[in-house]
């Protein structure tokens, strides 16, 4: 006979969703959801506490990431975005394309060396890269509407993703490289991690070239829109 699966522990997922919708304290929501899941799975409160304690001690490195969030928030409150935008505005040769392509190269090279924490959405893209990209676009192409700002922010986030994803595959100690090695071993093909990492270099170069072209094409569309507006402005004024 097949064992009957209880779906009651999934109530913990609903508790997380409800807690976040009601904007309750995230830490309390997660802990409460853990207790709800554990109790509906017929664990004692002491067992749930033991599981939470074990997870906390094994994942203490996450505290380093969590501590950066309030620091970034405090910096933003005191004008980090504004200072980044003002700094870009003072650079004569700064353009949206040059900025994002340069960040893409830096992110990919750093990730290939195992330095994956040098960038990221919360600590780099949102407070620094996206505002700098917006400022560079405004400097060259004039005032931006809300849709264009959202597209620039999305392009900045995509630049970070592409640089990290294809750069870290070159680092021989990265988990995905070791996973690929294990897959080949299971099928009778023995490869060293260095061999797999080296074959990741052509892919990373292609990803860099493709995304750089996407960024430059995106900037050309902004420039085209700015020229159209400049041409239509005098005719509207004469009417």
pLDDT in tens, 58-93: 655 555 555 555 555 665 666 666 666 676 666 667
Would residue 237 count as lying in a domain? no
Domain count, the chain: 2
Residues 222 and 147 occupy one common structural domain: yes
Residues 133 and 67 occupy one common structural domain: yes
Q: Which residue range forms the structural domain that includes residue 141? A: 63-226
The mean per-residue pLDDT over the stretch 13-31 comes to 83
Backbone angles phi, psi at 145, to 5 degrees: -90, 175
Q: Give the mean pLDDT of the chain.
A: 81
Residues 32 and 101 occupy one common structural domain: no
- Provide the 10 A C-beta neighbour count for residue 68: 14
How far is it, in rounded angstroms, from Cα 169 to Cα 182?
A: 15
Would residue 1 count as lying in a domain? no
Confidence at residue 50, expressed as pLDDT on a 0 to 100 scale: 84
Residues 28 and 134 occupy one common structural domain: no
Residues 181 and 78 occupy one common structural domain: yes
How far is it, in rounded angstroms, from Cα 10 to Cα 81?
A: 40
Dump pLDDT digits (tens) for 102-111.
Answer: 999 999 999 9
Would residue 27 count as lying in a domain? yes
How far is it, in rounded angstroms, from Cα 31 to Cα 49?
A: 10
Would residue 13 count as lying in a domain? yes
């Amino acid at each position: 006979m097949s064992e009957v699966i209880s779906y009651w522990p999934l109530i913990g997922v609903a508790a997380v969703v409800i807690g976040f919708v009601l904007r309750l304290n995230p830490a309390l929501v997660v802990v409460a959801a853990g207790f709800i899941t554990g109790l509906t799975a017929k664990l004692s409160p002491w067992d749930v506490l033991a599981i939470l304690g074990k997870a906390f001690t094994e994942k203490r490195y996450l505290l380093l990431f969590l501590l950066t969030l309030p620091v970034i928030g405090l910096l933003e409150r005191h004008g980090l975005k504004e200072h980044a935008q003002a700094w870009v505005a003072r650079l004569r040769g700064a353009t949206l394309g040059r900025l994002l392509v340069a960040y893409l190269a830096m992110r990919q090279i750093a990730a290939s060396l195992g330095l994956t924490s040098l960038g990221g959405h919360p600590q780099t893209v949102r407070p620094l890269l996206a505002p700098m990209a917006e400022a560079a676009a405004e400097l060259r192409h004039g005032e931006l509407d809300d849709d264009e700002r959202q597209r620039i922010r999305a392009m900045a986030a995509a630049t970070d993703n592409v640089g990290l994803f294809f750069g870290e595959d070159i680092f021989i100690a990265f988990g995905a490289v070791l996973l690929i090695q294990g897959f080949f071993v299971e099928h009778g093909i023995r490869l060293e991690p260095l061999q797999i990492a080296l074959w990741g270099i052509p892919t990373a170069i292609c990803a860099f070239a493709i995304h750089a072209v996407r960024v430059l094409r995106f900037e050309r569309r902004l420039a085209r829109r700015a020229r159209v507006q400049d041409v239509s402005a005098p005719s509207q004024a004469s009417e």
